[in-house]
């Protein structure tokens, strides 16, 4: 059960004062009866709440898939730059945050949700969730470079005892070249270290020119989404993420 004013606030329809005015004017009903009291308790799972005749469907958890464009930061707020939340115009973003981060100049798949358990499941270092990146490179990696990447490379991180902390073994797949003739690989990693892909390429004498995440766990980037566009995850996608 939840207070009616709190229920209404979940839909970003106004401030507490504005919600009180909405109720005072009889614009809200619960199970067909006009509701005037903000402290009225409703069952968000079974009661029918309407505002101006339109049903308000309550969702405890919200899940969005966004194709993050370059120049937008993976944060809930930033004093200088646009954030991924700024792209979800008009949505109920209470407690919603990015599931992991992409560098400001990196594009691609990013999940945003207020489901803390799912975020932990996808980001926990113990789970080694696959992350697949489309990597455009300055030059084509040779067999030696690929072997090093797939074995684990030194990107400068150290363990607590001061020893080298190599990256986990990765998987490299040749994806040909882009329209500009640059070498493209698909790189699968299982961690989320700071600037990890760029540092891995630097460790084998290469440079990332363009980077896009195309898959996280079983979820693939929706190719119909242009950079900056988003959609809600389907029930099937949510179930797969939670059970895979």
Catalytic residues: 103
DSSP for the chain, please give it. Answer: -EEHHHHHHTTT---HHHHHHHHHTT-EEETTEE---TT-EE-TTT--EEETTEE----SS-EEEEEEPTT-BSSS--SSS-BGGGGSTTS--TT-EESS---TT-EEEEEEES-HHHHHHHH-TTT---EEEEEEESS---HHHHHHHHH----S-B-TTS-B-PPPP-EEEEEEE-TT--EEEEEEES---TTHHHHHHHHTT--EEEEEEEEETTEEP-TTSPTT-EEEPPHHHHHHHHH-
CA 203 to chain centre: 28
| Rounded distance between C-alpha atoms, residue 161 and residue 67, angstroms | 39
Phi-psi region of 13 (alpha: psi -120 to 50; beta: other; left: phi over 0): alpha
CA distances from 134 to 48, 151, 187, 242 (A): 46, 19, 7, 25
């Amino acid at each position: 059960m939840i207070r009616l004013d709190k229920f209404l606030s979940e839909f970003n329809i106004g401030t507490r004062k504005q919600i009180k005015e909405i109720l005072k004017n009889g614009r809200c009903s619960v199970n067909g009866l006009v509701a005037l009291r903000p402290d009225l308790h409703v069952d968000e799972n079974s009661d029918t709440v309407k505002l101006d005749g339109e049903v308000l469907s309550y969702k405890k958890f919200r899940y969005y898939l966004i194709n993050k464009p370059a120049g937008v930061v993976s944060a809930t707020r930033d004093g200088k730059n646009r954030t991924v939340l700024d792209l979800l115009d008009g949505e109920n973003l209470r407690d919603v945050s990015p599931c992991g981060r992409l560098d400001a100049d990196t594009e691609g798949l990013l999940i945003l949700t207020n489901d803390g358990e799912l975020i932990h499941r996808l980001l926990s270092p113990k789970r080694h969730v696959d992350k697949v990146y489309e990597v455009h490179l300055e030059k084509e990696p040779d067999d030696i470079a690929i072997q090093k990447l797939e074995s684990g490379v030194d990107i400068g991180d150290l363990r607590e005892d001061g020893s080298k902390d190599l990256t986990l073994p990765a998987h490299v797949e040749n994806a040909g070249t882009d329209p500009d003739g640059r070498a493209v690989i698909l790189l699968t990693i299982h961690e989320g270290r700071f600037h990890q892909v760029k540092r891995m390429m630097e460790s084998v004498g290469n440079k990332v020119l363009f980077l896009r995440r195309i898959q996280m766990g079983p979820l693939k980037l929706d190719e119909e989404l242009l950079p900056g566009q988003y959609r809600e995850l389907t029930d099937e996608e949510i179930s797969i993420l939670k059970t895979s």
